Structure 1
Amino acid sequence: MRPTLRQMEYIVAVHQLGSFGLAAETLHVSQPSLSSQVATVETDLGVRLFERGRAGARTTARGLEFVTRARHILSEAEALRGSMLSDLPFGGRLRLGVLPSIGPYLLPQAIKSLHEAEPDLRVIVREENTLSLDEGIRNGRFDAIISTPEDHPNTFQHQLFIEPLWVAVAQDHPLAGGAQVAAEDLEGQRLLTLDTGHRLARIVYGIAGASGATVSNDYEGTSLDSIVLMAATGAGIGILPDLFARRQGIHRSEVCVMPLVMPDADRTISILVPSDRPEHFSGVLATILRSAAKVLELEVTQA
């Protein structure tokens, strides 16, 4: 007996919620029925998927493997059903993952244009770091992601733009007030960046190695705003991507924000879909996103 789609749905829900009771309530079934179905799968496969206890249900190592594969199967089944029932791209529902350093600045204009092009297409957006986006595009949680292409091999990719990097320094920093910052200006300086789950952190480590700077190991930011705040205290030099710097950073009175001019001080941003599902519409979406980026650039330039 093979696990059914319904049984896989039960198991994924228990893993997500950490509780048989909450999973049953969410799926509108009785807890005994859900528990029985999960136990049937465990017996049939000869593996234990969950460790049960008073604190709830903890997924075992084999259970995690099951959940990862089940999510992909459920996603494919949903996509199949959607494509049969709808002529809309992505079966009428686009689950889009995006880097948090991109989403708030690029997507508002893009979603508006996308709605004009496909008014019946539902777009669900989640902001996650690079590692989580890669996991999501592989296990089927996302239909497409906006991220740095080198972190997602074996995907179908449309390049959107190359984003330069900027620096943020405290108003009393020796570099404050300059027109730009070069590699030699960073020698001996401490650089601030996001945690290592982001491609930006790896780029910053490369910049440090090329310029003679160091990356602060005392602080890893969880957001670009936190990097700006730390730079304002004099803790180091914040490294910021272009969209954030021009949309937000240049308006912050507590820091001075300047372009960073040196080789490899940039990152490529692409839209990516699974390699086995190179949706034709992803090309249309790429065109919309590129246009949104150009509109944003014009708005900031004219501000």
Structure 2
Amino acid sequence: MRPTLRQLQYLVATADTGRFSDAAERLHVSQPSLSAQIAEAESHLGAIVFERGRHGARMTPLGAEIVRRARYVLRQMEDMQSIAKSGGLGLYGRVRMGVLPTIGPYLLPRATGTLHREFPDLRLSIREESTVELQDKLTDGQMDVLISTPEDHSPTDSAHLFRESLWVAVPSDDPLAAEAGPLDLDQLAGRPVLTLGMGHRLTSLVSELAHAAGAFVSTDYEGTSLDAIRHMAALGAGVAVLPQLYVTCEARRDDVLVYRRIDTPMAERNIALVWRQGSPLTDGLQQLADALRTAASTILDEV
């Protein structure tokens, strides 16, 4: 016999919460019932998915792979239900979107009104993650679509949204603030550069820029957000490198810092809507990309 879809839901909920009791509460069933169903699923599979103990329910190495595949099966079932309800047109029901923290807070608020009008039956669940986490969660079915850098997600399908430049932010008394207009890359030579921690595409891009300019990425100050990087630059910790969308939406309100675009093709990044190949949501996601593309263009045209 095979595990049922309900049993797969129990496996995934237990993996997410780490405890049988919490998983049972999430799924509105009794803990004994959930535990019995998980034991039956393990019997059908011929494998132990969870180690039981005072620490809760910890996945075995084989169990982690089983749960990953269970997520995929459940996601496929949800896709089937969504496309059946929508008649194959547009987007319907819950769609889980992952987005880079350097993009989501600045793009999505501008797109909300359009999305509500064009997709009235769409329930968009949004979560910010690093590039690495986005890829993992798209692969195992925890997310349906991403707003991210397409080169970091393969093999996938994608729709281009926009291309943005990178800018520096420095205090008004910094030598780089003495001039206006684009900044030549070699003007960063010898300077400490501020960026996010590891796991972000932006960090890799800034590191490549620093190397090409003869600058260096500061290891004393590692930002957890773009706002943190901007504030550290204001305190003289280094030169902040910030994406254009953020500069347009947030940073330009700050009169403490001076902002200049880095004048090199290296200081640009592509942003796309990314989804799994063969997704039944493809037609609707293309429509979603159109709406996001329009919102991004409106913002970037403000520079």
- For normalisation by structure 2, the TM-score amounts to 0.93
| Mapped partners of 1:223, 1:249: distance in 2 | 13
Structure 1 position 226, deviation (Å): 0.8
Whether the 8 Å contact between 1:168 and 1:256 is mirrored in structure 2 is: yes
What do residues 192-244 of structure 1 show as CA deviations (whole Å, max 9, x unaligned)?
11122110011011101111111112232221001111111211111100000
Whether the 8 Å contact between 2:134 and 2:146 is mirrored in structure 1 is: yes
Structure 1 position 69, deviation (Å): 1.2
Whether the 8 Å contact between 1:93 and 1:121 is mirrored in structure 2 is: yes
Equivalent residue number for residue 297 of structure 1: 300
Equivalent residue number for residue 18 of structure 2: 18
Structure 1 position 86, deviation (Å): 3.1
Equivalent residue number for residue 53 of structure 1: 53
263-272 vs 93-102, greater mean Cα deviation: 93-102
Aligned equivalent of 2:271, options 269, 272, 279: 269
Structure 1 position 67, deviation (Å): 1.5
2:117 counterpart letter in structure 1: E
Aligned equivalent of 1:286, options 285, 289, 292: 289
Whether the 8 Å contact between 1:145 and 1:273 is mirrored in structure 2 is: yes
Structure 1 position 246, deviation (Å): 1.6
What do residues 16-60 of structure 1 show as CA deviations (whole Å, max 9, x unaligned)?
111101111111111111111112222333332222222322222
Whether the 8 Å contact between 2:19 and 2:57 is mirrored in structure 1 is: yes
Equivalent residue number for residue 173 of structure 2: 172
Q: What SS does the corresponding residue of 2:258 show, helix, strand or coil?
A: strand
Aligned equivalent of 1:241, options 230, 240, 243: 243
Q: What SS does the corresponding residue of 1:234 show, helix, strand or coil?
A: coil
102-111 vs 44-53, greater mean Cα deviation: 44-53
Whether the 8 Å contact between 2:50 and 2:63 is mirrored in structure 1 is: yes
Equivalent residue number for residue 140 of structure 1: 141
Aligned equivalent of 1:195, options 197, 200, 221: 197
285-294 vs 46-55, greater mean Cα deviation: 46-55
Where in structure 1 do 4 or more consecutive aligned residues deviate above 6 Å?
none
Superposition map of 1:1-303 within 5 A: 1-87=1-87, 89-179=90-180, 180-277=182-279, 279-298=282-301, 300-301=302-303
Q: What SS does the corresponding residue of 2:95 show, helix, strand or coil?
A: strand
73-82 vs 135-144, greater mean Cα deviation: 135-144
Q: What SS does the corresponding residue of 1:38 show, helix, strand or coil?
A: helix
Whether the 8 Å contact between 2:184 and 2:264 is mirrored in structure 1 is: yes
| Mapped partners of 2:236, 2:260: distance in 1 | 16
Identity of aligned residues (%): 47
What do residues 87-119 of structure 1 show as CA deviations (whole Å, max 9, x unaligned)?
353443322211111111111222211221122
Structure 1 position 83, deviation (Å): 1.8
2:29 counterpart letter in structure 1: V
Q: What SS does the corresponding residue of 2:175 show, helix, strand or coil?
A: coil
Aligned pairs, number: 300
Q: What SS does the corresponding residue of 1:145 show, helix, strand or coil?
A: strand
- For normalisation by structure 1, the TM-score amounts to 0.93
Query: Is there any run of 5+ residues in structure 1 with no aligned partner, and where?
Result: none
| Mapped partners of 1:285, 1:25: distance in 2 | 34
131-140 vs 238-247, greater mean Cα deviation: 131-140
Whether the 8 Å contact between 2:92 and 2:123 is mirrored in structure 1 is: no
